[in-house]
Amino acid sequence: MSRLDFSLKLLDSINMSLPSSEINQGLAPSDFREGLKKVDSELIEALRNREGRARILMAERHGIISPGLGYKSYHGEDPEMPSDREETHRDEDPKGEGHINRVAQRDVEIMQTFFESYGEPKTEAEAVEREEMLVFAHYIGTIHDLVQNFKLVLMVKGGNEYVAQDTVIDINGDGWKKYIGKGKKIVRKRIVDTNENDTINEELEFMDKVNKESKKEIFTEKHKKWVREALLATIPGWNGATVYQSQLKWNKDSNNELTFATAWADLKGGIFMDGWKQFFKEGDLNLLEDNPDILEVALNPDQYTEVIEEMGDRIRVWRDDQDPFALAQWNQLEEQIILFPEAASLLRERHFRTDTYNDTYNKVKERARDNKQTKAPDLLIELRQIVIKEQQKYLRAA
């Protein structure tokens, strides 16, 4: 099996959870678009096909640029999960979906709630626009991580901190593994802003190509503006304490509902909409994606015995940081949701429930507390179990 074939299926299981027969068609597990009657069928078909193509592009690119997704299938025996850690990682996420599909579906769900809050459309044009925005919400959620420019950075411990080095690490092949060692870590640094803008440019080129080939304006300037502003709103920033979306701002000349729905679906959905199991799953997969050396040690612990304790400490630090991250998302949401007074109440009731957040937040604190007592090898076993589970999904679907 080629690296691309494996990467495609592994990315499918991790990020999309779609049967292989549906990838080329770009179908969502439950395709709400079949019920839309007012949207141009050519527009729906073009976006559906683009979603399918985007999934393939992401598989190709992630297979090349992400060491984690380039791994061959793990053929060892399933490690035994310590009994006191079993509950956290035993269950599938509640929706049965990975991040990409969940962002797309969350985006649609939030938009539907906006429209329900506003009542029936007042004109036929408004009715058409609402349906178009639902289609674009799903499409934007699907392609929001299409371009992932990054570099691998070697960091060396100095005192209590790791300091980035000037070492250039080749991301292709296994050469990067030689840098794994005590007092070192290898991290994936995303080139933010560039990723989102490159995604925007690819999608605008796609729309222009469709218009040119069809010899009519299937995609209007309004559609392009929706895509541009929604994707820009997902750009991550760092405020000195936690991650936030620096470009997510109210704009009286924009479609704020679609912009905010996309940003919320991406960064806040796991915490509020899906609960702690999905939040833990997405967080642990992000940990492995951004720390390929931890993934390598988790899969092959016998080859790296000298760094196991250090890897355990890094896992604990990552999971400790989920506490301020979750709290920050709550505070940010409270500032943002009041911008939509007509919809705020129903949005809170449907998607951003206080009880769901509290349950997630308490589980985050509980896990961080438990991890202090959990041995480093057991933490690595948990992460290895995640990878094995995703690869087993692939083998069953193959």
Which helix (H) or strand (E) segment holds residue 244: the answer is strand 243-245
- Domain hosting residue 227, numbered range: 3-397
pTM score, whole prediction = 0.82
| pLDDT per residue of the chain (398 residues) written in tens, 0 to 9 | 443 343 334 333 334 333 333 333 333 445 677 778 888 899 999 999 999 888 777 766 654 334 333 333 333 333 343 333 333 332 333 344 567 888 999 999 999 999 999 999 999 999 999 999 999 999 999 999 888 888 889 999 988 899 999 888 887 778 889 999 999 999 988 887 889 999 999 999 999 999 999 999 999 999 999 999 999 999 988 887 788 898 888 887 777 999 999 999 999 988 999 989 989 988 898 898 889 999 999 999 999 999 999 999 999 999 999 999 999 999 999 999 999 999 999 999 999 999 999 999 999 999 999 999 999 999 999 999 887 776 665 444 44
Number of domains in the chain: 1
* pLDDT of res. 83: 36
Helices (H), 145-303: 194-214, 221-232, 256-267, 269, 276-290, 292-299
* pLDDT of res. 30: 52
Helix-then-strand count for the chain, H and E = 16, 5
* pLDDT of res. 85: 34
